[in-house]
Structure 1
Amino acid sequence: MVTQAAESCRSDEDERAIHELENSSSKLLSLPAEVRNQIYAELLPCDEIWHITGETYYEIRQSNSKPDKKAFVKDDKPDDMNFDDRLALSRCCKQLRKEVLRYFYGFNSFVLPIAPEAIDGTRQWLSSRPAEMFAVTRKVYLQQAMRRCHRYRTPWYERLLSIDFKTLEIEIIGKLRHCSGCLERYERQVERAKERRPFKQLKETWADLDLSEDQIMQLAKMFQRRPSSSKSEEEEDAALAGLVLLFEEV
């Protein structure tokens, strides 16, 4: 029985090797790299921002009333958008896998939720990514939320924290219609996190490091929503109720 199982395993490996050889000698791979990149551009998403669930995509725009600020809008995934189908080409052979994944992760960005109740999902998503992602990813957006927006009385106020992996520069992006009071409060929180020693030390050595899952998670935890103060939510609501009229839209 063991011998039969071993022979079956070798047979499967031989078959995969044959397919690999056949695919690697395809006419597609004989084309110049520039032409292949043009083909990948037609087949794969490019310059898009997606939530890691693949269900929502984001668009970054300039703020209407404050030109120095950026804002985002988001929408559900189009019916014809399926990353798994579009990445099928990467399963043909090793060279195509490397090129397709590098193009896909190098020319798109992803939104990573970092709220305490969601960060485990982000960790699992990162741990399942191929090495090609960490070699070429240029930017991620950390998705953060306040407990409540006191102007619009919505349960959560969402914002994105853009992180450039080349320079480790941080940029805060709020919704296209958002409460400037909430955004300013978050800006103060981010500035405090940037002044802390762990971030300063990381930035000093960043250029010498290779991007990894652990480093992204380290950044996520640095800018994760901190527990509120000892004040209860009702006390905070009462204290901020009189400031509602001071908040302006961006």
Structure 2
Amino acid sequence: MRDGFGATPALRRAAPALSRGVAQAHRDRGPGEVQDPGAGALLRLRQAACHPGLLDPKRRGEPSAKLVTLLEQLREVIDEGHKALVFSQFTTLLGIVRDRLDGARIVYEYLDGATRDRQARVERFQNDPDCRLFLISLKAGGLGLNLTAAEYVFLLDPWWNPAVEAQAVDRAHRIGQTRQVFAYRLIARDTVEEKVLELQKTKRDLAAAIISQDNSLIRNLHREDLELLLS
């Protein structure tokens, strides 16, 4: 359940400066400082791996390797008559995807923590043959959704707890699903996303801190862990 792709030239140029910013912020924080500026810098590294528009709203219209890869795969899913779920932690990233789908006049549904008419959106996705995509905030869409019309699931950014990702995939794997479900995790190669996956395997608490921006754990990063994230 992994689909890797190379970072864009713009991301490769920006990432070293962001990485240096994380390291410098971590070194410069004062004793007893509650807010570690390195936490924000790590968040920016994760955002940069997704799309430059997460760092600068003026760049929402630019391409990113992750966005291009996703849209190509979604087009293939639609052309073959299938339906797909798209999950992300970043509602801004989902908003950028929505911009592209609107521009291409592709019908979809959307759900995040502020969505009120959840069931109506679920029923439309399940029953409307023209609505083939459902974009869902990973934090908001994990529970209580039965989306068995989907045969494909795309996870746009890594979550520290594989159980949360599995829960998202299970929205399509409910009772009544008679078809095989294919799940893809889109990971940008040579970025902090790969490092978070490595930490998932050995240091889940640390990976959780990076995703949730838990400053108490990030402040106490060991040098070798920080070097892994920035390497």
State the TM-score, normalizing by the size of structure 1: 0.27
> Which structure has the higher relative contact order (CA within 8 Å, separation 6+)?
2
State the TM-score, normalizing by the size of structure 2: 0.28
